[in-house]
Amino acid sequence: MSDNTPQRIGDYEIIRELGHGGMGRVFLARNVLSDRVEAMKVILPDLAGRSEFVARFMREIKTLAGLDHPNIAALRTAFTAGDQFVMIMEYVEGVSLADVLQRGRLPIADALNYTGQVLSALSYAHARHVIHRDIKPGNMMLTPHGLVKLMDFGLARSADEVGLTVTGATLGSLDYASPEQVQSLQTDERSDLYSVGVSLYQMVTGQRMFSATSSFSIMQAQVKETPRQPVEIVPAIPKALNDVIMKSISKNPAERFQNADEFRQALAQIAEANPQLAVGASPASETISVPAMATPPPTADPGFVPTPIQPGSPINRSLLLIVGVVLVAALVAGDAVYKSHQQRLSDQPSAGTASSPTPVPAPSSVPSEPVAAPPATPPPATVETAQPAPTPDHASQPKKLKAQPGNPAPTAGPSEAEIQAQQQAALEQKKLLDALETESDHLNGRAASIDSSLNALEQQMHHGGVGLRGDMVAARSNLHNDLDKASQALNSGDTDRARHFLDLAQREAEKLEAFLGRR
């Protein structure tokens, strides 16, 4: 657990961090009253004062509170703790499909199975007028039992909400966003189905639908470019599945599947017409399993959780072998340490006189090194290798405080070493301030360059009928606010606060530069 990870929030004891994102952090936590292990999602304290993030977090809480489906991660409860907003979620044991896809494409049977489960969840949500708006493999969690759980309803909204999606408010992951989302037009359930189609495209081909490198070029591709047909990439894909995918990713919503059940039924018909695609019928060389992971990667989404190793698997047997080797090594090391300790104890009497060996007290009362006594009281008798231990007569006489190595004599004021330490600390503080000011100047320069590029891009996008993404507008505002707060902290000499806001500004700058295609 990192130094800045809280030990406890409310009635929940933090076990470890599972993941983090731009809006908050997710922890594995145990309820101290019920002993149940949950996933705890916490909005970042610095974002708690920003109304758009709080509104999004609260909308996610209220949306999930009304959903109860086996393919949707359930909300347990929500509360506030100080300046933090907290959401307690069902702990989904597994790995995201985005991480599975990093190893390559899925067997067609698995792709049909997982997509069908996602469509089942969306059919349920859409019937309750909830549009997810951020469907992607990273928000599809796969459990060790093959169950898919749809995660992260932070961008979800009701289909009845009017005016929420306006120009400049494009959200979601651009690789999976529908053309109407990219253009900041009104969206409905068919927008989610487009994103499912893009995800299915990646599952069966192992490739992203568009290979554009910048956010702007991806947005243009979603609106104007026709992707390669999946069968051109993987000839083994049945033509019927190829046609279903191409229909689901039509630019015009009217040409797509009109609801999740229609889409799911089309996939079921493909499975029925191709018995070899039945779940579990894939060749052994193509079968895919949930990889075992001890900790989530740094860029894991907030829903990411580790996957336990399945009993009887080759990985499990290898792990047992490794554990056995480690245990043998630990036993050998422990035996060596014990013998070394015994040798030290047997050597201690030689420090005293040969005729009057000094008894060795219990190990818990004898320090391994001479201990310096407090300056205001006489020091205890010190075990020294160069002098015999004091006799009882010596022990009964008053002892004269004497400066010894490791036991300096008391002084009336700070020692020369303390003065030097204080001077060194002041010098280090000045160096840190200078370094932070240099970093602040550099970030301000990057901010000016970003502003210039964004202004030019806004004009270009305006001519193309596309508005600047709302999260990029917010990121630009946050960047300047964080830089202003960092400058104020530097002026007051508060290096910790300055470091904090410079880190926030750095994150916003990287987000904007990635959008502009610079990273």
* CATH code of residue 430: 1.20.1270
**Same domain for 113 and 52:** no
Number of domains within the chain: 3
For residue 321, being part of any structural domain is answered with no
Active site residue 496: no
Listed residues 308, 339, 364: the one ending a domain? 308
**Same domain for 241 and 221:** yes
The amino acid that residue 365 corresponds to is S
Mean pLDDT of the chain: 75
For residue 198, being part of any structural domain is answered with yes
Domain that holds residue 464: 422-515
- Angle among Cα 121, 296, 92 to the nearest 5 degrees reads 30
165: exposed, middle or buried (Cβ count in 10 Å: 0-12, 13-18, 19+):
buried
Question: Is residue 477 helix, strand or coil?
Answer: helix
**Same domain for 220 and 152:** yes
Instruction: Give the pLDDT confidence score for residue 85 in this predicted structure.
Output: 87
Query: Cα–Cα distance between 205 and 231 in angstroms, integer?
Result: 8
For the chain, the distance separating the N- and C-terminal CA atoms, rounded to the nearest angstrom, is 30
Q: Which residues of 373-411 are buried (b: 16+ CB within 10 A; e: fewer)?
A: beeeeebeebbeeeeebeeeeeeeeeeeeeeeeeeeeee
Neighbours of 158 (CB within 10 A): 15
For residue 447, being part of any structural domain is answered with yes
For residue 403, being part of any structural domain is answered with no
Listed residues 34, 55, 89: the one ending a domain? 89
For residue 483, being part of any structural domain is answered with yes
Write out the H or E segment, with its range, that includes residue 246: helix 239-248
Instruction: Give the pLDDT confidence score for residue 416 in this predicted structure.
Output: 85
State the pLDDT confidence band at 101, using cuts at 50, 70 and 90.
Answer: very high
For residue 449, being part of any structural domain is answered with yes
CATH of the domain at 82: 3.30.200.20
Contact 59, 76 (CB under 8 A): no
Instruction: Give the pLDDT confidence score for residue 86 in this predicted structure.
Output: 92
Instruction: Give the pLDDT confidence score for residue 81 in this predicted structure.
Output: 84
Instruction: Give the pLDDT confidence score for residue 45 in this predicted structure.
Output: 66
Q: What is the dihedral of CA 43, 45, 47, 49, to 10 degrees?
A: 120
**Same domain for 162 and 45:** no
Write out the H or E segment, with its range, that includes residue 383: none
DSSP-derived secondary structure for 40-76: EEEE-GGGTT-HHHHHHHHHHHHHHHT---TTBPPEE
**Same domain for 252 and 162:** yes
Q: In this predicted model, what pLDDT tens digit does every residue of 122-134 receive, in sequence order?
A: 999 999 999 998 9
CATH of the domain at 139: 1.10.510.10
Contact 317, 292 (CB under 8 A): no
Cα separations in angstroms, 132 against 76, 173, 193: 19, 12, 10
Q: In this predicted model, what pLDDT tens digit does every residue of 16-69 receive, in sequence order?
A: 998 876 667 899 999 999 999 999 998 876 665 667 777 878 888 888 888 999
For residue 327, being part of any structural domain is answered with no
Q: In this predicted model, what pLDDT tens digit does every residue of 336-355 receive, in sequence order?
A: 555 555 555 555 544 444 44
Pairing of strands 37-43, 84-89: antiparallel
- CA neighbor of 182 nearest in space, from 174, 194, 191: 174
For residue 59, being part of any structural domain is answered with yes
Q: What is the pTM of this model?
A: 0.57
Q: Which residue has the tokens 């591709």?
A: 221
**Same domain for 85 and 134:** no
Contact 218, 209 (CB under 8 A): no
Listed residues 60, 89, 118: the one ending a domain? 89
**Same domain for 68 and 43:** yes
**Same domain for 233 and 169:** yes
In the set 99, 110, 134, 192, the catalytic residue is: 134
Which DSSP category does 310 fall into? P
Query: Cα–Cα distance between 208 and 192 in angstroms, integer?
Result: 17
What sign does the CA torsion over 361, 362, 368, 374 have? Answer: negative
**Same domain for 177 and 66:** no
Contact 262, 254 (CB under 8 A): no
Q: In this predicted model, what pLDDT tens digit does every residue of 205-255 receive, in sequence order?
A: 999 999 877 888 898 899 999 999 999 999 999 999 999 999 999 999 999
**Same domain for 236 and 177:** yes
292: exposed, middle or buried (Cβ count in 10 Å: 0-12, 13-18, 19+):
middle
The amino acid that residue 515 corresponds to is F
Contact 117, 70 (CB under 8 A): no
**Same domain for 132 and 73:** no
Q: In this predicted model, what pLDDT tens digit does every residue of 164-187 receive, in sequence order?
A: 333 333 455 889 999 999 888 888
**Same domain for 101 and 60:** no
Phi/psi for 468 (5° steps) reads: -65, 135
Query: Cα–Cα distance between 415 and 354 in angstroms, integer?
Result: 40
